[in-house]
Amino acid sequence: MSGRNNARKQPKVKEKVIIDENNPMLRAFRAYSMELDAKHDRYERIVKLSRDITIEAKRIIFLLHSIDSRKDNKEKVLEEAQQRLEKVIKVNFKAVAQEMQNLDPYQYRGAYAPGLQEFIEAYSFMEYMRYTDDKSSSLDNEASMSDWQQLQGKMQYIEAEANDEISAEMKENKFSFHVEPSEYILGISDLSGELMRRCINSLGSGETDTCLLICKVLQHLYKGYIGLSIPRCRELSRKIHTMRQSVLKAEDVCYNVKVRGGEAAKWGLESEKPNVDIDEGFF
């Protein structure tokens, strides 16, 4: 009996499977694996570049909020913000464009979209602060913020590279960063939050005319956005909802200015929370 049990317990010897390295199917799947690995690595690199753009854009927005008429630092801050934004275009967005040369940019949209939206928010806020001040109360001013085509024109790059290893002749390699119009719209919608903060800060510094002007700008911006309908853009309704909260807060500031006058800054925002359950008909 013991001999039979030992015979049964003996492991079976598996036969070695011979793999044909020249099999067309095997070679095709290995090529697919290498292509997917390269795509995933490129995606992660673009995500890191987008994070750098987001961080720098937030710092620039914070810098722009430091503009104070009492310190008379507007020109200095705007000049620094302009230089830093141009550096982001020349360095960070160029690196992203290099990663996506001759590739479909929509495959990597989720990687660079957050950084692009934050940059558009910072760039448009810089332009608003440059072309608007306490004295310009007209909304029909000739100066306007750059549209997506103008930003696209600034993100055109040229690099010189050799034709081959032997020839010393250089040729120009032209490429660009793709600015998606829908991402531009989403980035501009985030501008409402910064304008609302600017409105509240202006109340604290006693710039009541600025509060009233920003409130009008936010109302016009919101009125334009509730009429938008962008297919395959799920973020738009959330952005419009957030924009509405900014408009209500700015209107609350203007209400305090009109009712309390010069004492509005001392009272601050003490009204109840705005009614957010009103349906505007865009959901």
The binding site for Mg(2+) consists of 121, 194
The DSSP result for 85-108, as a single string, is: HHHIIIIIHHHHHHHTTTS-GGGG
- How many residues make up the chain in this entry? 283
Q: How far apart are CA 189 and CA 54, in angstroms?
A: 16
C-alpha 130 chain-centroid distance: 20
CB of 166 closer than 8 Å to CB of 95: no
CB burial of 20-35 (b: ≥16 within 10 Å; e: otherwise) equals eeeeeeeeeeeeeeee
Q: How far apart are CA 268 and CA 252, in angstroms?
A: 10
Q: How far apart are CA 52 and CA 263, in angstroms?
A: 42
Report how far apart, in Å, the C-alpha atoms of 136 and of each of 130, 159, 217, 250 are.
11, 42, 12, 18
Residues in the annotated binding site: 121, 194
Q: How far apart are CA 82 and CA 10, in angstroms?
A: 78
C-alpha 173 chain-centroid distance: 27
Q: How far apart are CA 204 and CA 212, in angstroms?
A: 14
